[in-house]
Structure 1
């Protein structure tokens, strides 16, 4: 084989390797994948993951300016698509959008996301439950706090329960107060303090009594604390 034949062969191999082959064996222009803003490309191949995420984030940003009918429609579509979406990053952004849409249809999607196989999605769903302020979320968050296998998801559940001031929310935090992990106990105490406006400081026993419906005496204020203005405490 002469030098020119060898060069032509190498050139042909490079062209084929660079162009790539479609599933049906046809040569595909690789540059098409870089022209993602072309309407024809989007119509043929669909939006890219980045474009879908941007669309979801934009929807979340303007959710409070949408009509109830629009929010309901978007919520239903996203909730239905969640079950079939293979990309966990996109599912996270779907959950964020549902939290902002905050409709019954959106809540149904958030509820199903509590059982997602990806912990990042479950953690986002737990946080979203607190954003919705839906009373039905209390029992769901309490279940996550006990059931979920991921520590960060359980910790997020303890924090989200602080968005609810009901006795049921307080009682749901008891397992976190009994946790061996100090960060989990601290999260439970902070949630109880936030939602109840009482303060038993770091006294876990009194917080537990309060969470279970009791009314323990608050701790005495020290002389040093009395000398510090309340806004500096």
Structure 2
């Protein structure tokens, strides 16, 4: 008996394959890789049609990116006007991605209204927005921003947010930043410990490596002896969590 399927079966298999490919291609206008949707002329056509009625998400994100690029050359009056508009959008925006983009844009507009909105965003319900707020706070290193970042580092329930807060505190040259970072020296998360110690190096100008005991003594007012340079084996042990 032949091991090959009958001719009519082979024809049906071929047609099924063709129809399956057609369904895969036509089933989603954006194609199997959404990131390439801007290369799809049908999707671009849909965007253009949608924008005849209201700005699409794609258009909004692009407009905000353009605004961030133009912000350094804007006048103070323009900063004020755009700050007011973006803050109003942020207050009513429900989409997490858009709130994140709005906070990122506010960081490029040096106004009191922008700073106040960014500070409020540090308490946003979503961790992505809070992380972006921490990055934005570091661009305006004043006393209020320092206090908020310290609170985030000490109290936020998301480790990634705390990591960004610890890194952002490294932008401050203030004894209060040293005390704010102290809470992470003995944290159970090695990544957070190391990030806090890196920021302590930037804030204080001291270098006690990744010695928790030395940094603990320093923030308590002591003058610890700098530890010897770690061996390659010790460096690997201390940085195992990167691998």
TM over 0.5: yes
Quote how far apart the aligned CAs of 1:67 are.
0.7
Q: Determine which of 183, 188, 192 is the counterpart of 2:191.
A: 183
For residues 21-52 of structure 1, give each alpha carbon's deviation from its aligned partner in whole angstroms, at most 9, with x where no partner exists: xxxxxxxxxx99935446xx64x622001100
Q: Is the 8 A contact 2:211 2:227 kept in 1?
A: no
The equivalent position to 1:61 in structure 2, one of 54, 59, 69, is 69
Separation (CA, whole Å) in 2 of partners of 1:79 and 1:186: 35
2:12 corresponding residue in structure 1: none
How far apart, CA to CA, are the structure 1 residues paired with 2:47 and 2:188?
51
1:56-78 deviation line (CA, Å, top 9, x unaligned): 11111111110111112111221
Which runs of no fewer than 5 residues in structure 2 stay unpaired? 1-41, 232-243
Across the aligned residues of Structure 1 and Structure 2, the Cα RMSD in angstroms comes to 2.2
Q: 2:99 aligns with which of 87, 91, 106?
A: 91
- Asked if 1:139 is matched to 2:147, the reply is yes
SS in 2 for 1:97: helix
Counterpart of 2:45?
34
1:219 aligns with 2:219: no
Aligned position for 1:127: 135
How far residue 83 of structure 1 moved from its aligned partner, in angstroms, is 1.7
Q: Extract structure 1 runs of 4+ deviating beyond 3 A.
A: 31-38
Instruction: Please report the TM-score for the alignment, with normalisation by the length of structure 2.
Output: 0.71
Structure 1 unaligned segments of length 5 or more: list them: 1-30, 225-233
Give TM-score scaled by structure 1 length: 0.74
Distance 1:133 1:175, change over 3 A: same
